[in-house]
Amino acid sequence: MFMLAMLCEVLPVVAALSVVAVLAVPLWREKLPRPVRLDGSSRPDAAARWTLASGAALLVLFAVTVTVMRFHRIRLGGQDYSWWRYSIPLLAACLVLLVVAVLLVSYRRQPAEPVAPTHPRTWRSFTGTSQLWLFGSCAFALILFVAFAGSASSPDDEGRYRWLVIDTGATGGMVADFFGWAYGLPAAAAALVLLVLTVLVLHLNAVRPFFTPNSVGAEEASRSAFSYMVVCFGAGAVLLTLARALNTASSAAGVSLASEGYSFDTTLAAASPWLLGLSYLVQFFALFLLMTVVAVAVRRPQPQAATVHG
Amino acid sequence: MAEYSAEQIAAHFRGLILSGRMGAGDRLPTVRQTARDLGVAVTTAAKAYRALESSGFVVTKGAAGTRVAAQPSVLPGVVLGHVRDAVAEAQKSGISESDLLNAVQAVWRDRP
């Protein structure tokens, strides 16, 4: 158990090292999209990329802070109930995407030389199917876990479903703080809002007019790289929330009560170690995705000429 | 920069359809996207789409959007093949699009 707790402490470092390792191997590095240097006065791409990367870095910092706080048994928001306790990374991600959306909308420029469209451009135009599956699966996993944990939760004195109860029958029982409906529903709602905002940003990114016929190739490459970042950012935020929820559920499920010579476990006691292992795995993946966003942003943009189609 | 007229927009899509770059059932960009991309008013783009529809090149079906009609009048395959060959040859030789178009027009005018 101590080893697992230590692993939890160093997980962000492991994720950071993994991203560095990925970037160090040319074969893997080439798989990451590379931003394109565009004329700064004409496109908001660089500003949008950096906004997203800053948001991702803040989420990573948040994850590290919460991990350290948990290690020292300090709870985010104190001991009282705070509906936003688990939703906060999702709400922060929503805010970042909102800023990005405003950037994309407010940076409208009339094309220098209009490019007649040849096909419809939608939110899916610059996003791969695998990326959509990634985000969809993450959101679905979170909502599924909200339903699972919510159905296992019990209400507190004020009717908020945030406890996991050990029922010992006549001898009384005890409660542990749990990821019940009271935390799960706001998290699920925030995840849905994030999903909608992600689609909105992907749409705004796709429908922008091209600046000149010569820059179409470069702009398409830049939009693909940006879409990749947006999806990784959204999925990372969702997974970060899921990891925290799994961790809390595992802690609550692992509680046992000794009373009158008997030991009583929660109904989820058998799942506790699995939930803990899963939370570390999910957190690693979340940090990996968020750091990938930062990694794409800090890559040296390739010159525009290299991407222009003939 | 000269602004696109509805006729020019319609001619652009007619060209895409006739050259086989847009097949039957293919979706056209939305009127709004076309207007935004070309920097024209939405009404201008809508006028172009109406012209295409009235000439039978496209059909508009509510939520399904505007699509290339099932049997628009297209160039015969032989002609289209020659056009493609000429474009490929011109690109290989480094001839620009405008030079090729000028040559085609000159040849067209020279014919009795």
What is the predicted pLDDT for the residue at A309?
41
- Count the alpha carbons within 13 Å of B12 in the hemisphere toward its beta carbon: 19
Which residues in chain A have their CB less than 8 angstroms from residue B30's CB? 120
Q: Indicate yes or no: CB of A116 within 8 angstroms of CB of B36.
A: no
Distance set, CA A105 to CA A201, A256, B42, B63 (Å): 10, 54, 18, 25
The shortest CB-CB distance from A114 to any of B21, B29, B38 is to: B38
Tokens 């789409």 belong to residue: B49
Closest Cα in chain A to B4: A114
Residue A298: give the domain boundaries.
13-113+120-307
Average pLDDT over chain A, rounded to an integer: 86
Domain boundaries, chain B: 6-68, 77-110
**C-alpha span between A21 and B38 (Å, rounded):** 44
Is the ipTM beyond the 0.90 threshold?
no
Query: Is A6 domain-assigned?
Result: no
What is the predicted pLDDT for the residue at A241?
96
Which residues in chain B have their CB less than 8 angstroms from residue A116's CB? 4, 9, 12, 34, 37-38
State which of A87-101, A247-261, B26-40 shows the largest mean pLDDT: A87-101
Angle at A61 between CA A56 and CA A65, to 5 degrees: 145
Interface test with B, best of A42, A109, A119 (most B CBs within 10 A): A119
What is the predicted pLDDT for the residue at A163?
87
- For B6-68, the fitting CATH number among 3.40.50.620, 1.10.3720.10, 1.10.287.70, 1.10.10.10 is 1.10.10.10
pLDDT, tens digit, 9 for 90 and up, residues A204-213: 999 999 988 8
Query: What is the number of structural domains in chain A?
Result: 1
Percent of chain A with pLDDT over 90: 48
* CB crowding A248-282: b at 16 or more within 10 Å, else e: bbbbbbbbebeeeeeebebebeebbeebbebbbeb
